[in-house]
């Protein structure tokens, strides 16, 4: 249906296709409603907490974002369909020729090799042959290469045009002969003027050349213009090009033609033609299939008619007539003032300014009569300096802001109110040559996309630039033109995420039976059908439609992404825009309708990777669907994958069938295969756990029902039967919940909840919901337990850590990519590519330091690979009588450094664990053999007889009496019994405290030297603490008033002699292990430091959730709890909490083979400690057992009785004598008893044992952290020495050949034992960088150097990572700064001295020292710690390195900044100055201790002076080493 506006004298008609507009609008409305439904479906996922799962959350979010992006770009495109128009013209109604305006024709060429001169001349001749008065037609050819071949060719073209003016029919043969002669002349001259390196340089550096081509110039051809007809003016222009001036590509050439034509012909209308592609409406070399979519039907038949109904189409590069006035950008009719303004805009040329008012006047001067003056002026206008200080390219002429000068110019003209029209007459007015191979096609589109993206990223972006003269709908459509290239982001999401999800069975679309599936199906089908209708409407076919779908996908995967990347990199100054002309056209494959894939791997690899991934995912997904039978869920992704294969058939054919030169190279296929494998592996990590969980949910419901019946648990049936007569909404919800989660129903029935009546069901509504919430993340474990008829004891979930793991791995990848250019820069120095302006030594040291840091960082990556979180359900444990026994080991060494009263509180808290008393034994190792400890244990046992009933009666927390009474527990006023009992317990506690402390005061009278000698030289003491033993004390008459059963308590002081090595804490633990084996012989052991009390009573039951599980108890060696401290303030200035370890590193190790053994707070399997297969050792192997465990018969006998429940309450003297024998210092000789924590854990992991890390919400153990710098450094020095002992032993983890230890676990242990060696790069950075800054020696790239970016990225990301970790652990920026500061301090002190101690011990120079950390702090220390002040009261051996490094850095920072100010070398020294400033910030407390503080904990003046002298010495040494170079 058409609407025609006619008039008898009208020159053109505009036809509005109303029917087509109505159809388009109807489709848009229905499409919009379907999109709303889709986006609603995506959005409600985030609001549905019951269905929320973290793994699909990532997929859902990315897919939702892709659909939003597609919807947004689709919305921008809709104005094209609202008002489509076509135009009809009536040329016969034009006025007479003399009244017609003049036309200047502009053509541009650049390279006679890539744009053959003969083809260019044919275009010139066709332009001169236009049916238009010759005197009103001027043709200008811009030769950007300034090549003589083109100039000679245009002369021959003028001769050919003059010869063609005769009658065509009569002289056809003559014309054909002349055409052949013309072709031979042009081609001969092209071959003669060979294009070499000099011509290429000339193309970039040549003067301007303007020549008017007429009969006078063609002197050598006497046959030129034999009939002396009027010829169109023909002008050759080669504008000046210099390397020092930008030439602005085609836009610069057009602006030169605009100025020159104004001084020569000055016609008001201009026709712009490309030398080759004359306008892609119809191409003479496109076949019926158009495999590369060169015809671009969607543009010329749909979008441009739609744009013509708004404000007109944009300029499209070629084949457009344009008004000269529109290009000037200035009103030229407003007097002299405006003319002066015109000079500022358009330049100083008088002839050109004069022409501004004459371009409406008919030209009366023939070019044959032109004098040399205008040509000389034209030469000036073509110079490369003319546009300086003018507005050419930004307000006048063709715009320079984008490589697509046409689109940019048209958009800016329309923003000023100009309109344009689109004319598509039946007969093609222009024909061009299309690209006929994939390589040139993709390069061409990449260039176009780069130009469009440039406009989209400018301030003139149509989406935000709002000129009042541009219609709103035209702004929207123009926004689509410049932004549609960003479709590639969504396309990449759709060709990867749904397909990999399909492979692993993760459904991302609704079921076919879901009403939302209709919306997805409608959008997918209607989009394809609409495009098919548009193709058929333009006389295309289904095959043409498939080709256009295919090439759109190819462009989205290649051109769009590369074009946008090219634009962004150009904006950042990292690369030049992709301006590459087409090479020689290949026609053979195009004619056959076959793709020519002889292109760069840059284009091929993404295509082949996607199609290969599509093929693998389709085959694997279909196989999975056939096996599982979930067609309904996976149908949408299956159809999407099948559609991708259908339109990618030519690529599959090329990969597997074709063998010609145009096939995909094998190298591209192999490279793509690597990416496909990596994608599938990555998908395995992301999707597999969720896929298994979904399969369990969909496939195991029947199994669960069978298990319920097998277990005689009929909770579901009973519930439904009881509720059949009720319609209560709450009851219906309960029914749905229990039906949906049979595992929860089963778990509830285990607890004894049997919902048989409505009252019970109503009461169970909240418990059901609570149970569902608790079990939801662990449903897979729940189902596993159900299939075995077991209750749920524990669950491990990595789902809630999956985002962190993904971010960790992404960060690691980026970090590795960033370090590659850093190492390249460092290595280039040694090959002479870095200029070698820096002395060798500092460059070598810094390079080595960076390599060491990188190596340490690589080892540490294993922690972040698979973080794991565990939850336990102790309420599902068996009854107390079936629980295994537990032995608790508490170690103490020095009653002064480890206060006895605090140790007794730890003992009492261990006895107060919520565990059957007859299954709990507590052993205290007193390595000092002090009588004060034994006496204190008597009083502790007495007080425990009061404390334990009190704790059990009122569920007291914390269970440590000291912590409980210090917390000022709020007594509930309504419970009088509690008030009375708490007052009584308070009195008993004070009495207990007084007895222990008073005994310590009496011990102070004893000679300290004798006490120390006794601690190192005493006999073994074994004493069972019970009522009979305590009763000997007259002061302990009122013991065990309630006659409760008490845990077994034993005091052990092993024999120590100066002649025998006692192996520190490891020796004490081994003695406890042997002694306990003949007393209680519990299968599981809890190890505690004497200052680490039990805070919560549930740790034993929580650990038993793993040990009573028959599926894993044979492989679990220990359960590690975190170390937390009660005396840590919010600043934690000494990083005593080790936040980088417990919340971050230990969950990471738990996802591999388990955490390391950490000295305290762990439950361990006794069998694992024996290191011997006891079940395989019978009587025949008794000698082997004796060789391993020693000669004790009772110990050997106990090995086979670990799991027996018998508990020897009455101990004979034989047991005590044997225990004393086991505690002697000679018992371990010629045996294989192992060593302490990290070493023990490493050996157990090497044998295949696993461990778990459990961090419940309530702290199970709390200890006392170091609160002064001296103890913190000593403690870390001791740890460093111990770790390096393992690193320097035969058990070095990196070379461990054990097949039972995972490779990632080996890397974990390697980092643990080697990270103290970080002191080497830390010391290097603390000395070398300040030295080089002080003397102005650059170690890092300039800010303007691209290599600066990876250095900055590594530095910033390395500090943002711990900052993020600090925030994730509830910390702050101050806490992060404190952590960074203590790392620097430890790197300069603890790591150094610990390493020296270990090395000297290995060399036999001295024995490795051991000194327990002092837990007895004074009031001043506590005050400074609470105020966040460092206590610098420590040895000079610790202070001098710290103060020297700070002084050296401060001096270098001041000198470096002064040097940069004087020499203006900020660009060169910025990195080092910034690093020094960073060190200055984190060293502020040290500077404060040096210069400002006056208290006792300040840094002594003597230390400051010594450090200053040492720093000056370092600077002097640096001068001799560095500056003499």
> From the annotation, which residues make up the binding site?
898, 927, 1065, 1089
**Are the C-beta atoms of residues 1393 and 1277 closer than 8 Å to each other?**
yes
- Among residues 1135, 1136, 1138, 1127, the alpha carbon closest in space to that of 1423 is found at 1127
Strand ranges (DSSP E) for 18-97? 85-89
Sheet with 1261-1263, strands from edge to edge, namely 1093-1094, 1261-1263, 1124-1125
**Are the C-beta atoms of residues 506 and 690 closer than 8 Å to each other?**
yes
- Among residues 1042, 1045, 1138, the alpha carbon closest in space to that of 1362 is found at 1138
Residue 1519 CB: number of other CB atoms within 10 A?
13
**Are the C-beta atoms of residues 247 and 241 closer than 8 Å to each other?**
yes
Q: Cα–Cα distance between 1127 and 1132 in angstroms, integer? A: 9
**DSSP letter, residue 1389:** T
**Are the C-beta atoms of residues 200 and 114 closer than 8 Å to each other?**
no
Alpha carbons within 13 A on the beta-carbon side of 461: 12
Q: Cα–Cα distance between 125 and 179 in angstroms, integer? A: 11
Specify the 3-state DSSP secondary structure of 1119.
Answer: strand
Q: Determine how β-strand 269-274 pairs with β-strand 12-17.
A: unpaired
- Among residues 289, 844, 355, the alpha carbon closest in space to that of 594 is found at 289
Q: Is 902 a catalytic residue?
A: no
Q: Cα–Cα distance between 1189 and 1182 in angstroms, integer? A: 10
> What are residue 12's DSSP bridge partners?
89
Specify the 3-state DSSP secondary structure of 508.
Answer: coil
Indicate the annotated binding residues for Mn(2+): 1065, 1089
Alpha carbon 977 to chain centroid distance? 59
The four Cα atoms 1090, 1091, 1092, 1097 give a dihedral, to 10 degrees, of 80
**What is the 3 state secondary structure string of 140-152?**
EEEECCCCHHHHH
Give, in order, the Cα–Cα distances in Å from 1323 to each of 97, 418, 877, 1083, 1490.
Answer: 89, 69, 53, 47, 21
Question: Cis omega (within 30 of 0) on the bond before 958?
Answer: yes
Catalytic residue chosen out of the listed positions 293, 927, 1132, 1318: 927
Residue with tokens 């003046």: 1501
- Among residues 1390, 1381, 1417, 1412, the alpha carbon closest in space to that of 1497 is found at 1417
Residue-wise DSSP of 579-641? -----S---HHHHTT-----S-HHHHHHHHHHHHHHHHHHHHHHHHHHHH--HHHHHHHHHHH
> What are residue 922's DSSP bridge partners?
888, 1049
Catalytic residue chosen out of the listed positions 104, 143, 1237, 1431: 1237
**Are the C-beta atoms of residues 967 and 1093 closer than 8 Å to each other?**
no
**DSSP letter, residue 1144:** I
Q: Cα–Cα distance between 245 and 734 in angstroms, integer? A: 79
Alpha carbons within 13 A on the beta-carbon side of 99: 4
Q: Is 739 a catalytic residue?
A: no
Sequence-distant (≥ 6) Cβ neighbours of residue 694 within 8 angstroms: 505, 506, 507
Q: Cα–Cα distance between 306 and 1389 in angstroms, integer? A: 75
Q: Cα–Cα distance between 231 and 426 in angstroms, integer? A: 29
Q: Which residues are catalytic?
A: 927, 1237
């Amino acid at each position: 249906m058409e609407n025609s506006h006619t008039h008898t004298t009208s020159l053109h008609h505009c036809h509005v296709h109303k029917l087509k507009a109505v159809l388009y609008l109807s489709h848009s409305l229905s499409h919009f409603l379907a999109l709303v439904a889709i986006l609603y479906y995506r959005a409600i996922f985030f609001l549905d907490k019951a269905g929320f799962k973290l793994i699909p959350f990532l997929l859902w979010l990315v897919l939702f974002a892709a659909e939003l992006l597609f919807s947004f770009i689709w919305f921008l495109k809709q104005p094209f369909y609202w008002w489509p128009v076509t135009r009809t013209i009536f040329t016969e109604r034009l006025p007479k020729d003399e009244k017609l305006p003049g036309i200047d024709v502009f053509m541009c060429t650049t390279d006679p090799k890539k744009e053959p001169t003969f083809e260019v001349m044919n275009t010139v001749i066709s332009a001169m042959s236009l049916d238009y008065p010759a005197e009103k037609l001027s043709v200008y050819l811009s030769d950007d290469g300034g090549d003589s071949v083109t100039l000679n060719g245009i002369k021959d073209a003028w001769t050919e045009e003059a010869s063609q003016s005769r009658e065509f029919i009569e002289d056809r043969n003559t014309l054909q002969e002349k055409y052949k002669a013309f072709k031979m002349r042009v081609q001969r001259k092209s071959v003669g003027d060979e294009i070499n390196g000099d011509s290429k340089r000339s193309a970039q550096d040549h003067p301007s050349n303007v020549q008017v081509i007429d009969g006078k110039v063609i002197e050598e051809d006497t046959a030129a213009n034999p009939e002396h007809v009027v010829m169109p003016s023909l002008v050759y222009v080669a504008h000046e090009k210099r390397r020092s001036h930008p030439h602005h590509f085609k836009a610069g050439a057009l602006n030169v033609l605009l100025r020159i034509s104004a001084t020569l012909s000055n016609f008001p209308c201009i026709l712009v033609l490309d030398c080759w592609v004359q306008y892609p409406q119809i191409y003479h070399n496109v076949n019926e299939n158009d495999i590369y979519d060169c015809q671009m039907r969607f543009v010329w038949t749909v979008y441009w008619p739609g744009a013509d109904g708004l404000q007109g189409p944009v300029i499209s590069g070629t084949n457009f007539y344009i008004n000269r006035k529109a290009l000037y950008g200035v009103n030229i009719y407003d007097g002299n003032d405006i003319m002066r303004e015109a000079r500022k805009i358009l330049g100083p040329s008088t002839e050109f300014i004069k022409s501004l008012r004459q371009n409406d006047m008919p030209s009366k001067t023939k070019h044959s009569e032109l004098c040399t003056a205008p040509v000389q002026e034209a030469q000036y206008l073509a110079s490369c300096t003319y546009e300086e200080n003018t507005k050419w390219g930004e307000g006048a002429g063709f715009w320079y802001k984008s490589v697509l000068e046409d689109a940019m110019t048209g958009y800016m003209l329309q923003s000023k109110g100009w309109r344009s029209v689109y004319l598509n007459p039946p007969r093609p007015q222009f024909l061009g040559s299309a690209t006929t191979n994939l390589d040139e096609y993709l390069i061409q589109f990449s260039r176009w996309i780069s130009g469009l993206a440039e406009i989209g990223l400018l301030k003139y972006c149509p989406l935000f630039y709002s000129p009042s003269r541009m219609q709103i709908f035209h702004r929207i459509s123009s926004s689509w033109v410049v932004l549609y290239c960003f479709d590639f982001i969504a396309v990449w999401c759709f060709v990867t995420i749904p397909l990999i999800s399909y492979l692993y069975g993760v459904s991302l679309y609704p079921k076919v039976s879901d009403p939302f599936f209709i919306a997805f199906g409608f959008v997918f089908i209607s989009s394809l059908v609409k495009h098919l209708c548009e193709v058929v409407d333009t006389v295309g076919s289904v095959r043409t439609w498939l080709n256009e779908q295919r090439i759109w996908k190819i462009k989205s995967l290649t051109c769009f992404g590369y074009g946008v990347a090219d634009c962004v990199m150009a904006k950042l100054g990292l690369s030049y825009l992709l301006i590459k002309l087409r090479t020689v056209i290949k026609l053979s494959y195009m004619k056959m309708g076959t793709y020519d894939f002889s292109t760069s791997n840059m284009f091929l690899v993404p295509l082949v990777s996607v199609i290969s991934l599509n093929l693998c995912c389709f085959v694997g997904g279909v196989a999975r669907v056939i096996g599982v039978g979930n067609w309904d869920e996976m149908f949408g992704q299956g159809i999407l994958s099948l559609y991708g294969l259908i339109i990618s058939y030519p690529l599959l054919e090329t990969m597997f069938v074709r063998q010609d030169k145009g096939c995909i190279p094998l190298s591209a296929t192999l490279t793509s295969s690597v990416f496909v494998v990596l994608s599938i592996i990555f998908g395995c990590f992301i999707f597999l756990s969720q896929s298994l969980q979904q399969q369990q949910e969909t496939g195991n419901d029947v199994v669960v029902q069978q298990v319920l019946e097998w277990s005689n648990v009929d909770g579901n049936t009973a519930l439904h039967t009881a509720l059949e007569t009720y319609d209560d909404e709450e009851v219906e919800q309960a029914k749905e919940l229990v039906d949906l989660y049979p595992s929860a129903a089963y778990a509830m029935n285990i607890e004894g909840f049997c919902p048989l009546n409505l009252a019970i069901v109503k009461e169970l509504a909240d418990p059901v919901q609570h149970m569902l919430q608790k079990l939801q993340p662990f449903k897979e474990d729940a189902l596993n337990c159900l299939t075995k008829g077991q209750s749920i004891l524990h669950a491990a979930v990595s789902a809630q850590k999956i985002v962190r793991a993904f971010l960790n791995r992404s960060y690691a990848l980026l970090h590795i990519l960033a370090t590659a250019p850093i190492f390249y820069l460092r290595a280039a120095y040694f090959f002479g590519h870095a200029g070698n302006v820096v002395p060798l030594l500092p460059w070598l040291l810094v390079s080595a330091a960076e390599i060491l840091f990188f190596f340490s960082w690589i080892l540490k990556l294993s922690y972040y690979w698979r973080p794991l979180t565990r939850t336990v359900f102790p309420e599902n444990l068996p009854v107390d009588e079936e629980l295994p026994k537990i032995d608790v080991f508490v170690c103490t060494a020095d009653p002064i450094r480890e206060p006895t009263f605090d140790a007794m509180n730890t003992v009492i808290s261990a006895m107060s664990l919520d565990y059957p008393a007859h299954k709990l034994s507590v052993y205290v190792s007193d390595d000092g053999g002090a009588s004060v400890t034994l006496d204190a244990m008597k009083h502790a046992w007495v007080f425990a007889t009061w404390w334990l009933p009190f704790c059990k009666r009122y569920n007291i927390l914390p269970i440590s009496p000291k912590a409980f009474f210090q917390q000022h527990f709020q007594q509930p006023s309504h419970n009088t019994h509690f008030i009375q009992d708490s007052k009584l317990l308070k009195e008993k506690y004070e009495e207990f405290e007084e007895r222990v402390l008073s005994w310590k005061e009496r011990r102070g009278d004893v000679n300290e030297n004798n006490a120390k000698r006794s601690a190192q030289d005493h006999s073994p003491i074994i004493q069972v603490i019970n009522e009979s033993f305590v009763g000997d004390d007259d002061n302990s008459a009122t013991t065990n008033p309630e006659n409760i059963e008490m845990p077994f308590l034993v005091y052990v002081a092993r024999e120590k002699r100066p002649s025998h090595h006692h192996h520190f804490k490891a020796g004490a633990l081994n003695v406890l292990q042997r002694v306990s084996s003949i007393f209680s012989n519990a299968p599981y052991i809890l190890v505690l430091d004497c200052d680490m009390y039990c805070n919560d009573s549930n740790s034993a039951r929580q650990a038993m959730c793993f040990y009573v599980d028959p599926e894993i108890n044979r492989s679990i060696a220990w359960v590690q709890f975190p170390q937390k401290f009660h005396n840590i303030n919010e600043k934690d200035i000494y990083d005593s909490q080790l936040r980088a370890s417990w919340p971050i590193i230990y969950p990471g190790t738990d996802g591999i083979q388990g955490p390391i053994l950490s000295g305290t707070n762990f439950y361990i399997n006794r069998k694992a400690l024996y290191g011997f297969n006891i079940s395989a050792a019978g009587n025949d192997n008794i000698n082997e057992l004796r060789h391993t465990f020693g000669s004790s018969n009772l110990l050997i006998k106990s090995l086979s009785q670990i799991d027996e429940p018998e508990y020897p309450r009455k101990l004979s003297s034989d047991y005590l004598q044997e225990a004393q024998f086991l505690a002697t210092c000679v018992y371990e000789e010629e045996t294989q008893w192992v060593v302490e924590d990290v070493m023990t854990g490493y050996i157990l992991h090497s044998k295949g044992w696993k461990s778990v890390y459990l961090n419940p919400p309530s702290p199970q153990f709390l200890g006392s952290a170091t609160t002064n710098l001296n103890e913190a450094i000593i403690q870390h020095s001791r740890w460093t020495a111990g770790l390096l002992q393992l690193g320097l032993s035969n058990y070095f983890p990196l070379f461990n050949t054990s097949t039972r230890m995972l490779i990632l676990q080996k890397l974990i242990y390697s980092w643990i034992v080697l990270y103290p060696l970080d002191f080497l790069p830390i010391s290097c950075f603390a000395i070398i960088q300040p030295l080089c800054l002080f003397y102005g020696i650059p170690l890092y790239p300039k800010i303007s150097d691209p290599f600066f970016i990876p250095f900055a990225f590594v530095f910033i990301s390395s500090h943002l990572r711990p900052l993020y970790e600090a925030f994730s652990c509830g910390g702050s920026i101050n806490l992060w700064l404190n952590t960074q500061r203590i790392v620097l301090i430890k790197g300069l002190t603890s790591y150094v001295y610990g390493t020296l101690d270990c090395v000297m011990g290995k060399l036999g120079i001295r024995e490795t020292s051991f000194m327990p950390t002092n837990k007895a702090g004074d009031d001043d220390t506590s005050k400074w710690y609470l105020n966040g002040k460092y206590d610098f009261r420590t040895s000079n051996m610790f202070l001098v390195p710290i103060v020297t490094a700070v002084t050296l850095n401060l001096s270098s920072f001041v000198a470096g900044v002064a040097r940069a100010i004087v020499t203006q070398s900020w660009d060169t020294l910025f990195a080092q100055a910034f690093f020094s400033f960073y060190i200055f910030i984190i060293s502020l407390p040290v500077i404060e201790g040096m210069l400002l503080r006056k208290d006792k904990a300040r840094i002594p003046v003597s230390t400051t002076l010594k450090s200053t002298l040492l720093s000056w010495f370092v600077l002097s040494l640096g001068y001799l080493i560095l500056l003499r170079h």
